[in-house]
Amino acid sequence: MLDVVVVGAGPNGLTAAVELARRGFSVALFEARDTVGGGARTEELTLPGFRHDPCSAAHPLGINSPAFRALPLERYGLQWLHSDLAMAHPFPDGTAAVLSRSVAETAASFGPRDAGAYRRLVAPFLPKWDTLARDFMSLPLTALPRDPVTLARFGLVGLPPSTWLTRRFRDEPAKALFAGLVAHIMAPLSGFATGAIGLVFALAAHARGWPVARGGSQAISDALAGYLTDLGGSIHTDYEVKRLDDLPPARAYVFDTSPTALARIAGLGRFYDNYKYGAGVFKIDYALDGPVPWTAKEAHRATTVQIGADSAEIGAALRAASREGRAPERPFMITVQPGVVDPTRAPDGKQVFWAYAHVPNGWTGDLTDVIERQLERFAPGFRDRVLARAIAGPAELAARNANYVGGDIGSGAAAGLQLLLRPRLSLFPYSTPHPAVFICSSATPPGPGVHGMSGHNAAKAVWRRLRQAA
């Protein structure tokens, strides 16, 4: 009998399997698709030689992840690549705010009236970032906080809505950039604890940047898989699991799946019926015949570029998708251009480009024209650079990755207490009513992102259970 079976080879499933194998448990991992990766894959979606990331592409939380930093992933081929700027946020007039490794450069891009306010915002937390990140990404507590005073201070700043936090800024550059940071989790700006989300992304960029993985996000998954294999774990792809009986006998089962899929497979009935899924996304991967023709010069120096004319436009786009049930007329978009630092992603002189906008969960329309009109506001002539497109609405994204229910790439709405206490209001989020079944997906804390911490935290719960049973 195996000690542990893991279902789902996304970053969290892979990390959970690695953590358990490192502690001497026998581990087998089962994945429905023909390759590992989940939300961290790389594929030729458009034309030969153009290697796209179907989901995640830039990784501020990955390079800052306490779980990843404790693993020898570089030995297995993972190489982080950094652009001059972690992120740029251009405006229609050709100016831009930026998020840089340098706090001073970032603050200066906000203008003189907000530079000091931004420096004061990050100053208490940046010197203690590594400890704060470990404490924050271990909530609900899987270990005692290493710095409870800083964590509490961070909570006082971050638990209110981001709209409260941005009151300290007077001008749009800072307000818009910060609103865009919050929008990465597809949460309305007025939501509980959204200030913390924006602040985490900013601090992560200052601490270690906002890199892409050389060759694509698949490199992260492949590195985890390579390490797991060397630890003695086994990986089985093309293996769809419909019920627990499809799996070999084991002392524990860990699921990197949506809560609803877990309930169906493990026979948990209506246990997760109250779990809510959030807005979906409409995503386009482009093959371009050259760089994006941004008007703002700063946007040419960043791998990640946020698109939103001002904080009001960003807020309206988020409300439309998450609360009003309609696609926004001027969407907020996250875009990634890995060719700024990684020439391996496309043929010489060409580029891959990735853009998505928020739409209602399960939305069935076509947002291509709306997205490209928005891009043309900030990069006139963009359409002339397009060689090919791979378009994916909510249905296509859910077909590629079953965890993206209704196109929700966050695997659950980041709203109310569900932002922090998910998939149920419990201090034991990785456990289920079945004593041998656990969940480790992005539906558990600390939530979305390629960081492996949900898998890391779930692995702790599993080995404690196995140790008690020994």
* Residues whose CB is less than 8 angstroms from the CB of residue 198 and which lie 6 or more positions away in sequence, other chains included: 162, 165, 178, 179, 181, 182
- In this prediction, residue 191 carries a pLDDT of 82
If one compares 414 and 339, the residue with the highest pLDDT of the two is 339
Burial class from Cβ neighbours inside 10 Å (0-12, 13-18, 19+) for residue 133 reads buried
- Please compute the mean of the pLDDT values over residues 63-90 and round it to a whole number: 97
Lowest mean pLDDT among 99-113, 289-303, 410-424: 410-424
- Residue among 27, 2, 23, 29 at smallest CA distance from 256: 29
SS3 59: coil
Give the pLDDT confidence of 206-254 residue by residue, as tens digits.
999 999 999 999 999 999 999 999 999 999 999 999 999 999 999 999 9
> Strand order of the sheet with strand 85-90?
96-99, 85-90, 302-307, 333-336, 351-359, 280-288, 386-392
% of residues, the chain, pLDDT over 70:
100
**C-alpha to C-alpha distance for 11 and 32, rounded to whole angstroms:** 14
Cβ proximity of 185 and 414 under 8 Å? yes
**C-alpha to C-alpha distance for 175 and 158, rounded to whole angstroms:** 15
- In this prediction, residue 446 carries a pLDDT of 93
- Please compute the mean of the pLDDT values over residues 403-412 and round it to a whole number: 94
- In this prediction, residue 429 carries a pLDDT of 94
- Phi/psi of residue 100, nearest 5 degrees: -120, 165
**C-alpha to C-alpha distance for 102 and 95, rounded to whole angstroms:** 19
Q: 172-183 vs 112-122: helix axis angle to the nearest 10?
A: 40
Amino acid at 83: S
SS3 46: coil
Cβ proximity of 360 and 283 under 8 Å? no
How much is the pTM?
A: 0.96
pLDDT band at 144 (very low <50, low <70, confident <90, very high): confident
**C-alpha to C-alpha distance for 46 and 63, rounded to whole angstroms:** 28
- Please compute the mean of the pLDDT values over residues 440-447 and round it to a whole number: 95
Cβ proximity of 401 and 55 under 8 Å? yes
If one compares 271 and 136, the residue with the highest pLDDT of the two is 271
**Residue extents of the structural domains in the chain:** 2-43+218-276+413-469
- In this prediction, residue 467 carries a pLDDT of 87
If one compares 139 and 435, the residue with the highest pLDDT of the two is 435
Q: Is the pLDDT of residue 437 over 90?
A: yes
- In this prediction, residue 146 carries a pLDDT of 87
Q: Is the pLDDT of residue 66 over 70?
A: yes
- In this prediction, residue 470 carries a pLDDT of 66
Mean of all residue pLDDT scores within the chain: 95
- Please compute the mean of the pLDDT values over residues 135-155 and round it to a whole number: 85
- In this prediction, residue 304 carries a pLDDT of 98
In CATH, what is the architecture of 2-43+218-276+413-469?
3-Layer(bba) Sandwich (3.50)
